[in-house]
Amino acid sequence: MTTHPSPPPEESAAPSEAAAKARPAASAKPATILDVAAAAGVSRQTVTRAMNDLPGVNAATRERVLEVARGLNYRPNRAAQGLVRGREVTVGLVVDDLRNPYYPELASEFSRAAAGRGWGVLLSDLGDDPVVAATHLASLALRVDAVVSLMPLGELRSALGGIPVVQVGVGHRKPPADERDASIGIDDAAAIRAAIEHLLRAGRRRIGMIDAGPSRTGRAETYAGVLGEHGMHPLVIAADHDSAGGVGAAEALLDAAPDVDAVLVFNDVLAIGALRGLRARGVRVPDDVAVIGMDGLDVSALVTPSLSTLAIDLADLAAQAVELAEALLRGDRPEPRAVTRTLVLRESA
């Protein structure tokens, strides 16, 4: 009978004096896994298991090991890990809510683009708790060569340390705050203008917008600016980032402006909710109110009526994110990029 060795017994979770004193300047040479083990008061095997999120290490010990590793600026030998995994590069892909279908669709395209280079992908869904998110990012940074974030990181960027990051959707040609990073913005302006001009040509004269609350986004500002050029007043309703938010926002829009005859919506998920909210009020789409979403998700073509939308080429966006990650790993500092949207007209407008 073949036997397999059990994981080494886990060391006490009590913080060691060495762990508390770990600092980046502790040594002139790069820290090793043995340095982390000594400073954390655990075995080399425990460090390996903690950093790779393997079983056999309790939460307190794992957090202590990660804290010491960060303090020593320790980075695992990615080349050695690549040989074990059969891959040269592993990239972290960061989202904030996989329940939003935008993220799974873009993540699928990114995974395919990364696989074309023989890269591995680790997906991290951060959720909405910043403390938990920072812990996840710190752990991710120890296991990948680069990170592609599909959400604005803001202050959470610091949890990734020196890892190069590609930030997607951070604003049109906006330079990243960290010089180690690259960015791909989404240029909404031309597509929003095209959508509003289409609605005006169709005879719509009271065009509202459902925005992602609580404050106005750049998309709402562009919408308001284009309406102003035509002597029209904006009407923006803020909504939560899900279909239920779209339902409530559509009802609020009708209450605020019973004469509304078109609505531009921050994304397709909210727009699908808006379709339901309008139908619940007996409003016909597009006869009474035209609806245009944004993103061009697959599901937007499947609802009834099918949703007109300002679509992004997600395959192209993913391919560009991979290109930028590769450039950062080479040590290049690429200029910010931007992708544009395309007006796709269907039954709802």
Domains of the chain, start order: 17-71 (1.10.260.40), 87-186+314-340 (3.40.50.2300), 189-311 (3.40.50.2300)
Q: Give dist(CA 151, CA 139) in Å, integer.
A: 18
Q: What is the pLDDT of residue 174?
A: 58
User: Which residues, 6 or more positions from 259, have their beta carbon under 8 angstroms from its beta carbon?
Assistant: 206
3-state DSSP call for residue 99?
coil
User: Which residues, 6 or more positions from 333, have their beta carbon under 8 angstroms from its beta carbon?
Assistant: 179, 182
DSSP β-bridge partners for residue 121: 91
Secondary structure letter of residue 156 according to DSSP: G
Taking a C-beta distance cutoff of 8 angstroms, is the pair 22, 65 a contact?
no
Q: What is the pLDDT of residue 18?
A: 45
Per-residue HEC secondary structure of 26-75 comes to HCCCCCCHHHHHHHHCCCHHHHHHHHCCCCCCCHHHHHHHHHHHHHCCCC
Angle at 212 between CA 319 and CA 198, to 5 degrees: 75
**Sheet strand arrangement including 262-265:** 236-239, 207-212, 262-265, 290-295, 308-311, 342-344
Taking a C-beta distance cutoff of 8 angstroms, is the pair 294, 305 a contact?
no
**Sheet strand arrangement including 146-149:** 120-125, 90-95, 146-149, 165-168, 182-187, 337-340
Q: Give dist(CA 325, CA 145) in Å, integer.
A: 9
Q: Give dist(CA 134, CA 171) in Å, integer.
A: 23
Q: Give dist(CA 184, CA 166) in Å, integer.
A: 8
Q: Which of 291, 259, 253, 256 is nearest to 272 (CA)?
A: 291
Q: What is the pLDDT of residue 171?
A: 60
DSSP β-bridge partners for residue 263: 208, 291
Q: Give dist(CA 234, CA 221) in Å, integer.
A: 9
Q: Give dist(CA 283, CA 294) in Å, integer.
A: 21
Q: Give dist(CA 271, CA 251) in Å, integer.
A: 12
Taking a C-beta distance cutoff of 8 angstroms, is the pair 136, 301 a contact?
no
**What are φ and ψ of residue 73, in 5° steps?**
55, 40
Tens of each residue's pLDDT in the chain, 349 residues: 444 444 444 554 444 444 444 544 444 567 778 888 899 998 877 887 787 777 778 888 988 988 898 888 887 655 444 434 444 789 999 998 899 999 999 999 999 999 999 999 999 999 888 999 999 999 999 889 999 999 888 889 999 988 899 999 866 555 666 677 999 999 999 999 999 999 999 999 999 999 987 667 789 999 999 999 999 999 999 998 889 999 999 999 999 999 999 999 999 999 999 999 999 999 999 999 999 999 999 999 999 999 999 999 999 999 999 999 999 988 888 999 999 999 999 999 9
Secondary structure letter of residue 158 according to DSSP: G
Taking a C-beta distance cutoff of 8 angstroms, is the pair 45, 9 a contact?
no
Token pair in block for residue 259: 């004469």
**What are φ and ψ of residue 42, in 5° steps?**
-130, 180
Q: What is the pLDDT of residue 172?
A: 54
Q: Give dist(CA 339, CA 292) in Å, integer.
A: 19
> CA of 186: how far to CAs of 152, 319, 337, in Å?
13, 14, 9
Write down the pTM of the prediction. 0.75
Q: What is the pLDDT of residue 1?
A: 44
Token pair in block for residue 18: 């060495």
Question: Amino acid letter at 57?
Answer: V
